[in-house]
Amino acid sequence: MKGTNTVIEIKTRQAFRAELGSLEVPLIRPRPTVVLVYKRDCPPCEKLKPLLGALAAGPYRDRVAFYQISYPIFKLFQPEIRIEGVPALFFLDAHGPQTHMYGTQKDELKQGLDTLLFVSNGVFSEVFDSQTP
């Protein structure tokens, strides 16, 4: 799974532990990570998936790891973490700290990714701006 430049789907507990470890305990990671928790038949989730794929294959290639996991599987693996709605995004800093957000608000997504890379809000990919209304 490592070394790909796409959004990696987490389907098993083994993959979850190997790729993410735990979301309830801040861990030091090889690179910053974005985790999308989605539900099937969720229009905002379906809208967000290709955008994350474009970011993973484009400007954030090799700089940020992108994962997605369905809500039922997420709750099975991380029952302690309460999710208020989907899509839910977790931004995991490579140094341990993490933040999360719900929905698809463009400015909040920009801010979440920018904080992972320690850049100002103005430094965001053209991919994001070109693919979101």
Distance CA 74, CA 77 (A): 5
* pLDDT of 72: 96
* pLDDT of 10: 95
* pLDDT of 123: 42
Give the up-direction half-sphere exposure of residue 116: CA atoms within 13 A in the CB hemisphere. 28
Closest of 43, 61, 63, 54 to residue 104, by C-alpha: 43
26 domain residue, yes or no: no
Written as one string, the DSSP assignment of 25-45 is S----SS-EEEEEE-TT-HHH
122 domain residue, yes or no: yes
Report pTM. 0.79
The CATH number that applies at residue 102 is 3.40.30.10
Distance CA 42, CA 44 (A): 6
* pLDDT of 120: 41
Residue 99 belongs to domain spanning: 8-15+32-131
98 domain residue, yes or no: yes
Task: Tell me the mean pLDDT per 10 residues along the chain, length 133.
Answer: 72 90 76 92 92 83 90 93 91 77 76 67 48 51
53 domain residue, yes or no: yes
* pLDDT of 4: 55
22 domain residue, yes or no: no
For 56-59, which contacts have Cβ atoms below 8 Å and span 24 or more sequence positions? 56/5, 56/6, 56/7, 57/5, 57/6, 58/125, 58/127, 59/125, 59/126, 59/127
- The domain tally of the chain equals 1
